Structure 1
Amino acid sequence: MHTVESTPLKLIAPPPVLYLGSLLLGFVIHAISPVRIFPASFLHVVLGGVLLALGAAFARWSFLTMRKHGTTADPKEPSTELATSGPFRFSRNPIYVAMTALYIGVAFIANAAWPLALIGPLLLLMHWGVIRREERYLSDRFGDAYVEYKSTVRRWL
């Protein structure tokens, strides 16, 4: 018999693979048919750099908070504790917020519009193929504590 703790979480694909795959597809399309986001200037590099720095800092804070709670970000491993402090006070998915900022930052630095055009489909795929499944798992795993957390903390920001 499988318990919630021992049942592996079935995601469409690991989130980093989805983000990287979408970004790479955007750059392949950009190589074939380049479309710029910004006119020639240094602004896109500055904005992209800021997003990369913020995304990296938010990701680090998220991973450190999960470690402090003794739980893992690896969806193949069971969640041992519901992290609700640190960046998890602002977003139920701070690592995905961080990955989105990193993704947009890279697209800005490269001044490539195609990766940005793919972010909508990517986020829909994340919503239906990852986040909804994770939320179902966490609701089964942590019950009322997760339902209450969900009612007070937004999914993204």
Structure 2
Amino acid sequence: MPADTKTQRGARVVLIPPPLYYVAGIAAGMAVNALVAFPVGGRPVTVAVGAVIAALGLALAFTGVAAVIRHRTTIVPHHQVAVLLTEGVYRLSRNPMYTGLATAYVGMALVFGSWWPLVLFPLVVLVVRALVIRPEEEYLAQRFGRDYADYAARVRRWL
């Protein structure tokens, strides 16, 4: 079964919530680590640094969520958005929620003390880009036209 399908309005329905791609990457990395240990860093320092990185990532993601809620639109990928967010954290990144989750992923890999999730990280980012971000960008381009094209030209996808 594909990870997404089309709705009547043409936007893709993302059947797997985007945060689960990041969770799956960490889980897969730790499963591999259980078979073939690939430790990273000295435990206390690595855990502390990882926790700070994860917290910063989650703060960025939740700042994006708060902006969506404040503007009374939706974080659900296949629901119709009410407005194009271009201010606040959305001036820095077109995808602050996914950027924050990616940052938190890196931090959690350090907290868990394994290189394996970091080895899988590029694959996780590519999957999120292909299955979530690309369809969202196509939808936003169709929904907001020139306004989205101008926004995409001046604001980076990540950071």
Give the alignment's TM-score, normalised by structure 1. 0.90
Find the counterpart in structure 1 of residue 141 from structure 2: 139
In structure 1, the residue corresponding to 2:12 is in which secondary structure? Answer: coil
Q: How many residue pairs are counted as aligned between the two chains?
A: 153
Find the counterpart in structure 2 of residue 48 from structure 1: 50
Equivalent pair of 1:5/1:78 in contact (CA under 8 Å): no
Please say if 1:27 is aligned against 2:39.
no
In structure 2, the residue corresponding to 1:42 is in which secondary structure? Answer: helix
- C-alpha distance 124-12 of structure 1, shift in aligned 2 (>3 A): farther
> C-alpha distance in 1, partners of 2:149/2:10?
20
Please say if 1:151 is aligned against 2:153.
yes
Report the RMSD for the aligned CA atoms in angstroms: 1.7
Q: Which runs of 5+ in 1 are unaligned?
A: none
Per-residue deviation, 1:12: 7.1
Equivalent pair of 1:5/1:141 in contact (CA under 8 Å): no
Find the counterpart in structure 2 of residue 15 from structure 1: 18
Q: Percent same amino acid at aligned positions?
A: 34
> C-alpha distance in 2, partners of 1:132/1:41?
37
Q: Which runs of 5+ in 2 are unaligned?
A: 1-6
| AA matched with 1:28 | A
| AA matched with 1:140 | Q
Find the counterpart in structure 1 of residue 66 from structure 2: 64
Per-residue deviation, 1:23: 1.1
Which of 78, 82, 85 is the matching residue for 1:83?
A: 85
